[in-house]
A = this chain, B = another copy of it.
Amino acid sequence: MKIEEVVRRALRIVKPTSGEREKLRRVAERALNLAKSTSSRFDGVTGISIEGSAAKDTWIRGRAEADIFIHFDPKIPKEELEKRIVELGSDVIRRLGGAPRLMYADHPYVEGLIDGVTVDIVACYDVEPPNWISATDRTPYHTRYVIENLKKGQEDEVRLLKGFMIGCGVYGAEIKVRGFSGYLTELLVLAYGSFLEVLKAAATWRPPTIIDIKQYYSSPEEVGELFRDSRLIVIDPVDRARNVAAAVSKTRLSEFLLASKIFLKKPSLKFFEKEEKEKVRASDVRKLSRERHFIYLFFKILEEKPPDVLWGELRHSGEGVKRALERLGFKVYRSGSWTDERRYCLLIFEVDRTSLPRYALHRGPPLYLRNAEEFVELWTRRGIGPWIDGDRAYVLRARDETRANKLLKNGIEQNEVAISRGLVDYVKSGKIGDDLEQLIKIAKKNDGLLKFLVGFLEARPSFLRR
């Protein structure tokens, strides 16, 4: 299929139907009106607006979202604002007939699913740039900037880019993904003109890539200096001090680069089709895991946490466990984390082996040093050796414990493993294993976990799968 034909068909996938449009319009209007009437009960509200993809008409099929922003007077203290938005938001969602859920990225907001439309009730301060107080204060300016600058037809280019990024697993600024935000896709289309031009550009991106639409800076060196260690720097048109791509992880960026390169070479609709495993079976896990080695931590959390918090803790804890395993002498090939965002969590690591040799080499000081014989005398009574090689004495020290899961468990019990405070008690009460069979037993009753396991074992991005 030619690339133009693929793009033409992809548009059908990403473009909302008129029915969907109508529904979003209706839900958004109701939400807006309810927010208006409800907010009259609260002090300090200076305005109400619809922001985000609904306002910019860049939302895509199946992802209708209404972001209702409540603007507050900057004099209201942050804590007070947070309290009010939780109360106000919950009230609005309930009145819309939904179940309010407390969410937060940088500060809290309330979410509800109304008639297939995600409604977010978000607070922001009514400020002028650059006097930002909270992380959402820029949003109204972002909405306005995109609306004013996106040319007719470019909304669909944004939709294609979003659809492509969703299909490739790199879309979404939430902690779970650490990918591209909606605003970022819009800026990319503004910078390059179209979906395909964004991909063509991305295929040639070399770090640091600098996109400064409003030409705030006079040289790449100036930008590089300001945003060190960033692979992709997209200067926010409404805030020259902000990199819109700051939250994009290196991995997601690389995946997007790779997907762009491959799509341009071999265009295919699979890049837009969200991978959906139909039938995964326990036997797939068994087959895929043959002659491979894993260590996993499976545990239950006994409280509700906003997804961003939970995923952040999982990521942080996963990195801590990885470092601990490496410190213990294991090679960690890769790691993964999963949660149903309610109760069950899994951290899993593919390793070179699940146990260490009984004996480890232990090196003594150079023998010409004062008191070097003390090492020798000490170890002559234990271990194997000491023998001398070159300047030093060595011994083989017997390990009491050799299995990775046991070693890790001991480390965690002694608080030597950097696990998030919010998870450590759950981890301690959980299971640390090296035998996938036990995990399969659990996964047989949990389809989400089973799907995750198969995906983790396949170990490739969805666009490389078929």
Contact = CB atoms under 8 A, between A and B. Distances in A.
A300 to B, nearest CB: 28
Nearest to A264: B373
Nearest to A254: B367
A388 B461 contact: yes
B292 A206 contact: no
Give the interface size class of chain A: 35 or more
A7 B321 CA distance: 58
Contacts of A19: none
A357 B330 CA distance: 12
A352 interface: yes
Contacts of A352: 357
A334 B389 contact: yes
A352 B385 CA distance: 15
Interface in A342-365: 350, 352-353, 357-359, 361
Contacts of A464: 376, 380, 386
A250 interface: yes
A351 to B, nearest CB: 9
A359 B261 contact: no
A334 B394 contact: yes
A102 to B, nearest CB: 33
Contacts of A257: 367-368
B331 A388 contact: no
Nearest to A387: B459
A380 B461 CA distance: 11
Given A389-B251, A394-B334, A459-B385, A373 B258 contact: yes
A357 B291 CA distance: 8
26 contacts: A205-B368, A250-B390, A250-B391, A254-B366, A254-B368, A254-B388, A254-B391, A255-B388, A258-B373, A261-B367, A262-B373, A262-B376, A262-B377, A291-B358, A292-B359, A292-B384, A331-B361, A350-B396, A352-B357, A376-B464, A384-B458, A384-B459, A385-B459, A386-B459, A387-B459, A396-B459
- In this complex, which of A257, A333, A377 has the most chain B Cβ atoms within 10 angstroms of its Cβ? A333
Contacts of A287: none
A293 B265 CA distance: 50
Contact of A460 (B254, B258, B350, B380): B380
Given A251-B389, A254-B392, A464-B376, A333 B358 contact: no
A205 B458 CA distance: 59
Interface in A261-283: 261-262, 265
A337 B207 CA distance: 53
A372 interface: yes
A92 interface: no
